[in-house]
Amino acid sequence: MKNNVIVITGASKGIGAKLALQLAERGASLSLAARNLKELEAVAAQCRAKGAKVLAVKCDVGVDEDCKALIAATVAEFGRIDTLVNNAGATMWARFEDIRDMAILQQIMQVNYMGAVYCTHYALPHLKASKGRLVGISSLAGRTGVPTRTGYAASKHAMTGFFDSLRIELDGTGVTVTMVYPGFVSTGIRENASGPDGKPIAVSPVKEGEVMGVEECTRIIVEAMETRRREVIMTARGKIGLWLKLVAPGMIDRIAKRAIETGR
């Protein structure tokens, strides 16, 4: 990834921030985007300390014009775009019947799905010019339903359908599409998930110490980017689960339910 110009959305914390740091160590030039500019600048400073060239852009990916401005600022700063990592996301933790305001689901779809669509739309001409990479950070919930995550799973399924279709359209252009499907990752940001009232739940329902670490997750993502892999299913349980879904879908429903109940 040396000298690769990489745009990362949702780069102020979690997977996005750690991914930026690992790519900075590999000599990439980074355009980092997030809504919280103060937190984003802190990540940018750490990346610069590792010798990387970094642009920090305040951006809400759910807003079309923000995405357009992000791509324009990146091209103005670096002259091109080699890789776009669609990482920004919003999540939830509530049973559908308990949700009081459907705007929660609309917001999650706007960020997780349309945010990736907007950024990809504006970046695509530049990626075609560089024969670059498109990367989507999805979730195992983008491949199978998960209780308490109805809106989140729907948005990630939409993201999967979009990028799988786009991959076929881009055949022969030199642009590759890599989809990443993590399970639970210890990012420390799950407490921001929307509860049934639309407010952050404040306390993570996941046993953070018993799930994949963010360092391991981002290492796998970087390797997938470097080799232009088609898709990455992060865990053995995830791989087995997707196979079982074909032959014993009822079992997968029970496994998904238990995973949420146990928080791991």
CA distance 128 to 39: 31
User: Exposed, middle or buried by CB within 10 Å (0-12, 13-18, 19+), for 143?
Assistant: buried
Phi, psi of 193, deg, nearest 5: -60, 145
Q: List the beta strands (DSSP E) in the chain.
A: 5-9, 29-34, 54-58, 83-86, 133-137, 176-181, 185-186, 212-213, 231-233
How many CA atoms, within 13 angstroms, populate the side-chain half-sphere of residue 20? 33
CA distance 25 to 20: 9
Q: Quick one: DSSP state of residue 113? A: I
Catalytic residues: 152
CA distance 115 to 7: 13
Shortest CA distance to 212 belongs to which of 143, 156, 153, 264? 264
CA distance 190 to 152: 13
